[in-house]
Structure 1
Amino acid sequence: MAMEAAAQPVIKVAAICGSLRKGSFNRGLIRSAVQLCNESINGMQIEYVDIEGLPFMNTDLEVNGAYPAAVEAFRSKIREADSILFASPEYNYSLTGPLKNAIDWASRPPNVWADKPAAIMSAGGGFGGGRSQYHLRQVGVFLDLHFINKPELFVQAFQPPQKFDSEGNLIDPDTKERVKNLLLSLYAFTLRLKNIS
């Protein structure tokens, strides 16, 4: 009698975009990641977690150890995820205000980022958002996030060939393949770090 193959482990990924703009290229990267995951990556589920509704970080809003409802909901999504996927635009050589705000809220006691694997992708001009990624990695040291080192994904959005359509959707096949490779690396790293088999 043939032995049945073991079920492939499923990891839950929380995807966060640092841009609030609906047509953001970085949000387009996340949409592409979700689509690629659904079509061709077994064992990974990506959920986009919106940060637009979070209030500005203010410890006066913490009452008797509880956080505002939007913050509690966000923290719960991060806590439940096996790993994190950031799409980090570059504002003034760094990560965005909304992303830093979300990071700070989820780092409040208990720090729900701690010991989670993570990956970063970014799209923009020049360096393709690279400086934001390196600043985010610095922040991750304190958060106890474990970022994959390779592959790095910087998308130079304004250089030919055209990478995104007018609504911010990723249309470039080569970039889609790079997103897929990033996801596969995050999947393998998550299994290894979490000792899932």
Structure 2
Amino acid sequence: MASVGVTANKPVVKAVALCGSLRKASFNRGLIRAAMEICKEESGIEIEYLEVEPLPMLNTDLETPDGGFPPVVEAFRHKILHSDCILFASPEYNYSLAAPLKNAIDWASRPPNVFAGKAAAIMSAGGGFGGGLAQFHLRQVGVFLDLHFVNKPEVHVHAFQPPLKFNQDGDLIHQQTYHQLKQLLLSLTNLSLRLQSNSN
């Protein structure tokens, strides 16, 4: 597991954020941008956003005989390996998580699984259950990945129901959801620090 950084004698948890939507103005990307804004106010956690779009579709023929990966995949896996925790923004497609996110997860879980032992949190925005079913499936996948998920709060935003949650650029403008994100990041930070402490 990555080592937690320290800023002004206060531990800083390093998170990477993955989004299952490729649209630039997607609501789920908007949740990540809002989370990164919160991190500017809170010194306990830092978030680096990792693009999943450049990753090729999973094909083990792309792996080298010695277990290596294409450079873009190696770089992606390296970032996850050296993070403390994962923040997922998962839209819901057909009652499940989106293909780009699943593809990224599958590359990162190729041996050695770079997710193993890390804390994770999920947020989602959309219609219906606000991404709730995708979150459920992602948690199931996380069992095999050996991820430790934050249980509360649950952040699944009903994006198409009033009041308005996002502007036309996909930016979060709903203060109650913003507050929920703050609580989610606090829970993720605390869980990550607890796992780090238990592993020492």
- Bin for the TM-score computed over the shorter chain: over 0.9
Q: Deviations over 1:71-129 (max 9, x none)?
A: 00100010011000000000000000000000000000100000000000000011100
Alignment equivalent of 2:96, drawn from 94, 97, 106:
94
Q: Looking at CA atoms only, which structure, 1 or 2, has the larger radius of gyration? A: 1
Distance 1:10 1:35 in 2: 16
> Which protein has the bigger strand share?
2
Which residues of structure 2 form unaligned runs of 5+?
1-7
What are the equivalent positions in structure 2 for 1:1-197 lying under 5 Å apart? 7-39=9-41, 41-64=42-65, 65-195=67-197
- Structure 1-normalised TM-score? 0.95
Q: Structure 1 counterpart of 2:123, which letter?
A: M
Q: Deviations over 1:21-66 (max 9, x none)?
A: 1010000000000001112x11211000110000000000001211
What is the number of residues matched between the two proteins?
Answer: 191
Q: SS in structure 2 opposite 1:75?
A: helix
- Structure 2-normalised TM-score? 0.93
Distance 2:146 2:88 in 1: 15
Distance 1:70 1:141 in 2: 26
Which residues of structure 1 form unaligned runs of 5+?
1-5
Q: Structure 1 counterpart of 2:178, which letter?
A: K
Q: SS in structure 2 opposite 1:10?
A: strand
Cα shift at 1:150: 0.7
Q: What's the % identity of the aligned pairs?
A: 65
Distance 2:36 2:82 in 1: 18
Cα shift at 1:130: 0.3
Distance 2:43 2:14 in 1: 12
